[in-house]
Every structure is written in structure tokens, then in C-alpha cells.
């Protein structure tokens, strides 16, 4: 046996070893990427959960914005009502005890059949 033949035999043995290594690596990679039991499945589940959570966050953000707008409208309406109430109180105080108040004028209009001011 010559040196050249020994080198060729070593090359064949090395290539067979690499072929076995590639087969083992391919099997492990296939198991790792399996969508049901491997890491691929875990990644798919996590991606679905991230999408679901993003949608929930968007829904919650929209609801919070809507609730905030509704609350600000209610606050503005309450402030107007309070200003009207304070104005009526001042008018009643300025009218004095002998003069009719806003409330008594309303009661009188209701009795007569007029509309409430």
C-alpha cells in the first residue's frame, strides 16, 4: 500500500464520518423545527400569543380612549349644570324674600300650563 492509497482511504473514512455527522445533525434539526413538539411549535405558539395580546392591547386602548372622551363630556356637562345652579342661587339671593324666585316662577308656569324655562 502506497501513501497515496492510504491518503485516499483516510479521505473516504473522513467523508463517511462527515456523512454520519450530517445525518445526525439533520435529524436533530428536523426534531427541533417540528411544529408540534419542537422549538418550532413553541415559537409558533408564542407568535400567536403575541398577536392575541397586541389585539387585546389595541382594544383596551380604544376603550380607554372612548371612556376618557365620555368622561370629559360628562365633566363639561356637570360644570355647565353647576354654573347654572350657582347662577340660580345668586338670582334667588338677589331677589330677596318678597320677590318670586326662579323655582317659584317655574312652579307657577307649570300650574298655568306653560313650559319650563
Check residues 95 and 29 and name the one with the higher pLDDT. 29
Nearest to 41 by CA among 50, 51, 31: 31
What is the arithmetic mean of pLDDT over 20-25? 95
Domain boundaries, the chain: 10-96
**Per-residue pLDDT tens digits for 35-81:** 677 777 788 889 999 999 999 999 999 999 999 999 999 999 999 99
Local confidence band at 85 (pLDDT 50, 70, 90 cut-offs): very high
**Per-residue pLDDT tens digits for 104-115:** 767 767 777 755
Nearest to 116 by CA among 81, 108, 101: 108
| Cα–Cα dist 39/56, whole Å | 26
Amino acid at each position: 500500500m502506497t501513501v497515496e492509497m492510504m491518503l485516499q482511504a483516510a479521505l473516504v473514512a473522513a467523508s463517511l464520518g462527515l456523512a454520519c455527522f450530517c445525518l445526525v445533525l439533520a435529524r436533530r434539526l428536523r426534531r427541533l423545527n417540528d411544529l408540534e413538539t419542537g422549538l418550532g411549535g413553541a415559537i409558533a405558539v408564542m407568535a400567536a400569543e403575541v398577536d392575541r395580546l397586541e389585539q387585546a392591547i389595541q382594544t383596551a386602548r380604544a376603550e380607554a380612549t372612548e371612556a376618557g372622551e365620555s368622561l370629559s363630556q360628562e365633566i363639561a356637562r356637570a360644570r355647565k349644570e353647576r354654573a347654572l345652579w350657582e347662577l340660580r342661587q345668586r338670582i334667588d339671593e338677589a331677589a330677596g324674600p318678597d320677590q318670586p324666585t326662579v323655582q317659584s316662577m317655574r312652579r307657577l308656569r307649570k300650574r298655568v300650563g306653560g313650559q319650563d324655562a
